[in-house]
Structure 1
Amino acid sequence: MADNRSFESTLHDIVYSIDTGTGLKIIRVGLYILLLLVIVMVFTATQFRGLKSAEAMDLCQLGRNISFDNGLITKNVRPLSMHVMEGRTPDENPQIGLHPDLYNAPAYPALLSLGFGFFELIGVDPFEVPEGSHAALLPAEQWVVLPVNHLFAILTGMLVFLLGKRLFSREIGFLGMTIYYLSNLVWIDSISGLNISMAVFFSVLSFHQMIVSMLNKRDGDGKLLWILPFLISIISAVIAFYTRFITAAIVPGICLFAWLMAGRFRGGTRFVFIFAVLYFLLITPWFVRNYRISGNPVGMAMYSMLNESPRFPDNSVERDYHPEISGGQIVDSMKKKWVLNYSGEYAGVISGMGGGILMSLFLVTFFYHFVRPQVNYLRWGLGVSLLLMVIIAGFFSESSIRMLHLFWPFAILYGLAFFYILIDRLDLGVRLYNLALKCLIVFLAFIPFGLTLMPPHEVHPYPPYNTYIISRVAGMLNEREVLCTDMPWATAWYGDRVSVLLPQDLDQFYEINDYKQYISGMYFTTITKNKPFVKELLDGPEKSWLPVMSGRTPPDFPLKQGVSLHRQDQIFLSDRDRWSTRAAEAAE
């Protein structure tokens, strides 16, 4: 009988736990995780058809080079960087075969290299393109690039919960995390293959750890409980910098928060000094490396600002083997580019986050005084960093402007907190009404995400990217040969071949081919062939390439053999017939 009572008691405890105790919490957490995984899988299945960004492919090919112990060496070679390298070597060697990368931050490619290396370790080739599949996805993208970015997106959502719980309430933290996971921009960044998700995570982590540090110090906790988070905040900010350089904009905001929380002139200055000194000491090796290689501490960042400007459309500045750029041209181009960026396509980049509802409420909170001082101090720190990033991002590419998504987690929490204040002011009295309003704010934030999931779904990124064709074209050259193309980032990633960006004109090609590096093949895609015929191909900057693309190569042109690819919207030229056997499938 004793055993029966014991069994009945144990069974009763289990039922009670499932009904109201720990078991119920486990079930709820499990269901929440399951729902999150469903969201990730559905979004990925409907929206991801391969990488579409040149920058993403460039980062991935750097990761592969690192995994093969080649270091931060790029196979995406630009004539501009060749010109820079020639000026740094006694024999004017552009170092095309082992070309150092001077454009990208190293942390994200290094992390991808670990994933690539794992598959190589277990004997699986993540870069093998499935045979006969013209719409193939590279396994490395599916099993390394996507999981890494999804992981950072999920971890950032957890930080949203911890921040909301620490600053406001557990309910706001949970609701904020849910809205973050239902945000369209979060998963678009995650499937892009860019380093945005990783940079956002470490930036938010840096803010979070500084908040924990300052609050623990204020509450009189032991030194370890505030010194350790303080150091983690610095390290996280450094990792964020090595992921995307523009995240340096968060440092003034973090320092301002620490300065206000630690007592301003009563000790706060020393925390700002320590943070700034350690931060700059840890990022200095990168500037030293760039200066040693290129003579410029920031590498090619200044030239990157000229891309897609009115004077230098698209990537024309990178294609110029002999650039003649004055300081006045740089300043004028930067000013015009900044204005055009924010007056055109990106006019609503801030207000459009999450449908604009929570972002609008977040901006309104700058005119409201919260009871908790840490909430006000953090808001001013975020405001400084946001303003600084808006100013800097306008000079760079679209992906840099998307780094403003870094502030979306904080916008959610502050927007929800202010929304809760408005609900309390209404004093509706009926709990059901309050619940309905909270569900409404979640639904409004969910609308962009829901519309994205609806048909029509994403299609494969052709033109110009077709994994199968690119890999077959690159396969016509051996590893020691060099390809010249208008999309070297794609042939470097999908084809694993050293690829020189198409020079500005035919004369520069001759100079490179005759005196610097023999070019074994030339690959034209719709990037060039789809340009306006009269404005650019006939009488514009591409006029020297029009005869080559049309099959009317000049008498002294070294690549006289050619084959059309994919319904003749691409063409591959070489010094001899390389495709009779290996390229028959690609030429269909």
Structure 2
Amino acid sequence: MSTDIYPKVTKRRRLNIKLPWKSIIGTIVLVAALSLFVAHYYKSTFVGLTDRHAFDVAQIAKNISKGKGFTTRIIRPFNVGLIESTHRYTVEINTAPAYPYAVAALFHKKGSSDQGIIWVSLFFLILTIISTGLLGWLIFDLRVGLLAMSVVGVSGPVIDAGASGTEWTMAAFLFTLLLFSVLFHHRAVSNGRKFAGIAYVITSAIIIAALFMTNHILVFLLIPLALHYAFTGPSRRLHTIVFIVAALILIAPWAYRYASLAGGSIIAANAWDIFSNSKASPGDVFVRSSDQSQRSIFRALLFPLEHFNAFSAKLIAGTSALALASVPMLGLAILPMVVVSVLYKFDSESGNIVRRFIYAAVIILTILFAVFSVDTRSIILFAPIVGIFGSAYFFKVMTERNLHPVYVNLAIGAVILASCWPSLAEMMVRRDAMPRSEIVTPNEYFVSLNAGGLRGVVYTDQPWLAAWRMDVTAVWLPQSDDDVVELTSAGFPMRVIIMTPAVEDYPPAEIWYLVHRSKLWRDYIRDPDACMEEFQRTAEPPQFWFERFQKYMKERRRTLALSRSISGFVVRDAGIVRALPGQGWGATPYGIIVMTGVTP
């Protein structure tokens, strides 16, 4: 028996959903176009890895892909002194694990290569571009999202950051996801959805932990986000407590690992980066020393007080460098609009809430990036939201002016053209048509040494190159004889030294600087008596002058650190560099000094 009320008529419910197909298709086309633009830019400008941190990440990822765990082949003298466990000197405590593991996954499938690490970085760049458009759409409207996505996607410095092979595109993507959680949390609490609000708070804690695992310094984003929750919404106290507890629980395992390895520092050896590039410790001098007096975490905490002048000078120089880097990366067309928009309130309440968090995050991270000598590419973190706010203000001006759609479209085209012009100019350079120099680069030289089968521990001023290109243990040139003693006792004897032109950036008082610049010093280190006899026979100086010069060299050698450790080391012929894989050419190394010997 039929149960239909109208047995002769069958009614079917039809799902009647009208999707904005035009907008969806247009967005997909734009994403595809931006992806092709990024790919073409990468193909046109790729010359291999050049960033030293990318080399560091690459060799860590190679170790992971080979089943050696989160280890490194770069030996920093400071780390050897810092890590107490004698069998764990190769444990990595300078680089966060998330990005190296992502690269290792590709290395495991495709093999290790320069292209592999850059592909991973570019992949996260594409995700960042897409998330920029979606975030702009949700905060404001589709027009803002598409323009912001376009401006970020065609920016040359942004793509350069993606093609550098570093972790900053991954961090930028995660930071954009964090802004999603802030946005959705605001909407949830505004609509009275309590459980959804707590869910988004926990989500933001998970993302903070992921950012910590991407770059250790980003854990300090916990501060502005906790302040944001403390002053937002009706359940601010509960949400703040939930966020802090969840974030601390999530970061605790890795933070404990670092604290147990690095003398109590939850950001591992990065805590001592506060010394680097300051007047108190120029360049990388600090990490090249195993000085016991500097190993306590309290030395890093007290640095701003004990060396206030050096700290303040470093802070000013660092923030200035970040500000200068932000201009081309964030765009000359959009950045001024963002600056002016600070004086105005957006029509979107969500936009104002997110902007309030961004202000606090920018201030805190800029100071921390400057203090801990973080790469200026870290500015890409703010590129998506800057593009969104700039695009929102742009359309606000266009609306207030009540311009004809034709003029609005022309203005949009002008903004995009101004943003992509540096990229277009860079792609026009024909690198394949440029004549190859007869002077070999250190990068190419280490490739040649690898092809020649050189193995063992190598002491060098560019250990990241040696570790990646040669797959050997590379020790950063130490500061003193005591450092060499500690390194030798740790299982890293000094037998092969390779110095590149980068030694010219070392302080002139260092023996490495003198030995690299002067053949006289290289001969004198090997055999002082034979060197002086050769000098007297060749130069034929007056006897009284020669005696004074001989006395000066003896006294100077006595005051130089490491003079005892490298005594007797002999300079070897660097040789003609072999043809690189896929290239039928050779070149002569210039400014590359190879020394061998045994430390007394």
TM-score, normalised relative to structure 2: 0.78
Please name the residue that 2:56 is paired with. 58
1:239 aligns with 2:210: yes
Residue among 369, 391, 404 paired with 2:345: 369
Please name the residue that 1:301 is paired with. 270
* CA shift in 2, pair 1:254/1:359, >3 Å: farther
Please name the residue that 1:172 is paired with. 144
Structure 1 gaps, min length 5: 1-19, 120-125, 128-139, 577-588
Please name the residue that 2:595 is paired with. 573
Aligned 8 A contact 1:463 1:526 in 2: no
Please name the residue that 1:14 is paired with. none
Aligned 8 A contact 1:149 1:193 in 2: yes
1:447 aligns with 2:445: no
1:470 aligns with 2:470: no
Please name the residue that 2:358 is paired with. 382
Aligned 8 A contact 2:99 2:167 in 1: yes
The 5-angstrom pairing of residues 342-491 of structure 1 reads 342-343=319-320, 345-399=321-375, 401-428=376-403, 430-455=404-429, 466-474=442-450, 481-491=456-466
Letter in 2 for 1:112: V
Please name the residue that 1:310 is paired with. 279
* CA shift in 2, pair 1:403/1:310, >3 Å: same
> Distance between the aligned counterparts of 1:294 and 1:256, measured in 2?
29
Please name the residue that 1:102 is paired with. 93
Aligned 8 A contact 2:137 2:144 in 1: yes
1:339 is displaced (CA, Å) by 1.6
* CA shift in 2, pair 1:23/1:322, >3 Å: closer
Letter in 2 for 1:100: V
> Distance between the aligned counterparts of 1:446 and 1:465, measured in 2?
31
Residue among 61, 69, 72 paired with 2:70: 72
> Distance between the aligned counterparts of 1:311 and 1:22, measured in 2?
60
* CA shift in 2, pair 1:512/1:246, >3 Å: closer
* CA shift in 2, pair 1:518/1:22, >3 Å: same
Aligned 8 A contact 1:524 1:549 in 2: no
**Helix, strand or coil at the partner of 1:522:** strand
CA RMSD, 1 decimal: 3.3
1:116 is displaced (CA, Å) by 1.2
> Distance between the aligned counterparts of 2:438 and 2:250, measured in 1?
42
Please name the residue that 1:10 is paired with. none
Letter in 2 for 1:114: A
Moved over 6 A (4+): 20-27, 458-464
Larger Rg: 2
The 5-angstrom pairing of residues 90-169 of structure 1 reads 93=86, 95=87, 98-119=89-110, 126-127=111-112, 140-142=113-115, 144-169=116-141
* CA shift in 2, pair 1:56/1:499, >3 Å: same
Letter in 2 for 1:314: G
Letter in 1 for 2:570: K
Residue among 176, 184, 188 paired with 1:204: 176
* CA shift in 2, pair 1:567/1:294, >3 Å: closer
* CA shift in 2, pair 1:375/1:461, >3 Å: farther
**Helix, strand or coil at the partner of 1:103:** coil
Bigger shift: 27-36 or 311-320? 27-36
CA distances 1:4-24 after superposition (whole Å, capped 9, x unpaired) = xxxxxxxxxxxxxxxx99886
Please name the residue that 1:536 is paired with. 508
Residue among 500, 513, 522 paired with 2:475: 500
Please name the residue that 1:284 is paired with. 252
Please name the residue that 2:8 is paired with. none
1:402 is displaced (CA, Å) by 2.8
* CA shift in 2, pair 1:462/1:206, >3 Å: farther
> Distance between the aligned counterparts of 1:72 and 1:357, measured in 2?
42
* CA shift in 2, pair 1:57/1:33, >3 Å: same
Structure 2 gaps, min length 5: 1-17, 528-565, 576-587
1:254 aligns with 2:188: no
Residue among 34, 37, 52 paired with 1:36: 34
Residue among 302, 320, 340 paired with 2:317: 340
**Helix, strand or coil at the partner of 1:536:** coil
> Distance between the aligned counterparts of 2:217 and 2:596, measured in 1?
41
* CA shift in 2, pair 1:158/1:228, >3 Å: farther
TM-score, normalised relative to structure 1: 0.79
> Distance between the aligned counterparts of 1:146 and 1:511, measured in 2?
36
> Distance between the aligned counterparts of 1:205 and 1:238, measured in 2?
13
Residue among 476, 497, 503 paired with 1:522: 497
1:84 aligns with 2:56: no
Seq. identity, % = 20
